[in-house]
Chains A and B, each alone.
Chain A
């Protein structure tokens, strides 16, 4: 269905090839998962399918793209609208109209569908995506998951042969992401549309993927297990399977549990010794009865929090449960309608917001660092040195907007840490980060804790929490639902358990490392 023949691509400004003679063929009705580290050219590759690259991005592309037997190499993206449906990361940024129904019809209006046909297809799409009750709603009032479903529906309505999805869940919380991915899997099964999807929640897609396209220095395409075995990035379950030498590699929790059966029986007789968190008793921040309300809506309903020196705490809960509001209230820059926050003497507090790039406004990384030195009254070069230590390899001359999400976060972290805050609050730092960048972040966070800082991370990423955090606070509707050691909170939860915990249940093993270690 999709055939790339010797595709090579580079941006006009640099000699480095982003894609180097890529060859592969995706069959009709196949679901192909595209994996690879951020910055490896996944989006570039996806954009090549409907010629957004290079038509929209600029650059030089050679080679041929053949879709459904037709050579599409030279066509404009708009000419391919009936062949390739393309959905990007941020649904809201791609909406042209303002109600659900009109958005679904937009593409068909452009393509000149007959009104009766258009009406029928809109109705069908509404049902197919389960959004019929939202039909006349304003797109901006929808939740993230609903928005992404509408975005997918708006390209599906004109029934393209190929559906290209570029990280459709990267801006969503896990429940909304689940919603969208479940819908995609149903579409593949029911409609047999050819789907090419880049997705960093790989574990949710691999079970129904027919093939995997691994984009790193070279591009490999092949059967799911084959490629995952050699992939540098794999979901924890596959990682566990590789490390334990399980054959065939488990792709679902069910397969994993079956393979781990002997191990679990052994643990039932003799529970493994698991690391116990060190007790902390040096509070850096004590907050009592924090209340935040926006008009009649109560965002944070009387929450008590204590953060200890050297402790990394995770703050979890669905979107809109008050995590951000609590963080901003703790920091003091946000709204606080009640309660007290007491910091130790000489204790500074820092907050890294959800969109770190909001804090960057100068034209180079070096300038940002200098500005930060001035702001904190530090000797020149402190922030830049700190940044080098956090993440080596960022060009000081680079424009902050050109950095990857992970690098931007590192710059903001360096700026914030330069003033030596004793309490650091991170609001969803893992959003948009791949496994590699998350690992780097974990190291930075662990380093901060070792230096005796108290760290609070709001996140949806259970794997990250299992690796980095000692303690977990779960919020719902502005209240704290549970607060305790990570192992207790995660292992006992159906929703928050890590993949490894699900495999090892009832033994509370959370990470691959722990599993391998405990298994001896």
Chain B
């Protein structure tokens, strides 16, 4: 039983996204840099342990660098423009005098510890959220994610796969044409018109190449039965469209009311009108997908099924996020938001450690991905 559970297999992409979004929510409701660093460490740990051997899995590093960049940018902004200043001056920079009408902004000047820390905490929080998204991206194959979408969104997946495979081909033909161009003794481009001509000599062959390729791709898809099933009749299509538009408008109104804090009647602590709008919108969206997807008779090759492991992954993320909420409401909120004015050292309390431990569980309790297949170098 346990052995079978631990057989290598890819997990359902929704589970990784659910886990990562829950972690991001947890990160967004705290500013304790130790906790945030902990969440980053947990995300990295899970990615290292459970990512498959694919190009996007390797992109996780880029997200980490993006995080570092964000933190540096935030802190840099605080140093240059100030804001959140406090009494603890770290060092003084010569202030650049600005005209009086740009009040509230200063350029350089004295830099306080509080300003730097505010920048650091803020930046770290944003970086953590982005790294969580990066982790989801690294763990879940985006193509499998699209394949798990309802049938009505199938075209979206096809478009993405085609686009993704067209890009490197475009690069190849560009390289080839640039190389071939060296063979013709073109006169030096001096005037603007001649330079435009040079561009033309590259663009025309590359684009006609791409056009030819897309035509043969379309032919190939057609002869293999693409678009054979799932042509909805006009009535269904109109119905699907109407429902989709309705769903969007309902959700838009809900979002507006939510953000504008519009007055509402509360029953049992729930805003009635907003909740109704949201539920109706979601229902309409679901119905729209069902209507436009019901004529589609495609099947999926080796669909990933939702199993115990998927539930556990999502549960660990949601539990971590809920625990943070509980700590904020009933526990020691200062552990989540360590004070900057006056400065206190952030602490990693026992409950926070527990949160991190729960969030890190997927690195150990899920089946591993397939072992990396030996790859040959492209010729």
Contact = CB atoms under 8 A, between A and B. Distances in A.
A78 B226 contact: yes
Interface residues of B, number: 56
Nearest to A350: B183
Given A81-B225, A119-B302, A97 B200 contact: no
A3 to B, nearest CB: 20
Contact of B205 (A328, A357, A375): A357
Contacts of A158: 224-225
B228 interface: yes
B301 A82 contact: no
30 contacts: A50-B223, A78-B225, A78-B227, A80-B223, A81-B224, A81-B225, A90-B216, A95-B220, A96-B161, A96-B217, A96-B221, A96-B226, A105-B301, A107-B225, A109-B299, A110-B224, A110-B298, A115-B299, A115-B301, A118-B299, A119-B301, A141-B375, A331-B183, A333-B182, A355-B176, A361-B202, A361-B204, A374-B187, A375-B184, A375-B187
A108 B297 CA distance: 11
A79 B227 CA distance: 9
Contacts of A372: 184
Contacts of A119: 301-302
Nearest to A401: B208
B213 A93 contact: yes
A117 to B, nearest CB: 9
A191 interface: no
B168 to A, nearest CB: 7
B229 A110 contact: yes
Interface in B168-212: 168-169, 173, 176-177, 179-187, 200-202, 204-205, 208, 212
Interface in A66-119: 76-82, 84-86, 88, 90, 92-98, 101-102, 105-115, 118-119
Nearest to B211: A401
A243 interface: no
Interface of B: 143, 158, 161-162, 164-165, 168-169, 173, 176-177, 179-187, 200-202, 204-205, 208, 212-213, 216-229, 297-303, 370, 373, 375-379
B225 A110 contact: yes
Nearest to A111: B225
B232 to A, nearest CB: 15
Contacts of B217: 93-96
A106 B184 CA distance: 42
Nearest to A107: B224
A96 B379 CA distance: 21
Given A143-B379, A333-B179, A401-B208, A109 B298 contact: yes
A26 B81 CA distance: 82
Interface residues on A, range: 35 or more
Contacts of A375: 184-187
A306 interface: no
A94 B220 contact: yes
A352 B186 CA distance: 15
Nearest to A117: B299
Given A328-B179, A415-B184, 13 more contacts: A55-B222, A56-B218, A81-B228, A94-B220, A96-B221, A98-B164, A111-B225, A115-B302, A137-B375, A141-B378, A333-B183, A358-B205, A360-B205
B114 to A, nearest CB: 50
Contacts of A110: 224-229, 298
B198 to A, nearest CB: 10
Contacts of B208: 401
Which interface residue of B202, B217, B303 has the most chain A CB atoms within 10 A?
Answer: B217
A86 B223 contact: yes
Given A52-B219, A93-B213, A140 B378 contact: yes
A475 to B, nearest CB: 15
Interface string A286-298: 0000000000010
A320 B379 CA distance: 7
Contacts of B205: 357-361
B228 A111 contact: yes
B303 A106 contact: no
A263 interface: no
Contacts of A360: 205
A390 to B, nearest CB: 18
A94 B165 CA distance: 11
A61 B344 CA distance: 84
B347 to A, nearest CB: 47
Contacts of B376: 137, 141
Interface string A390-409: 00000000000100000000
A95 B227 CA distance: 16
A297 B176 CA distance: 19
Nearest to B168: A140
B373 A137 contact: yes
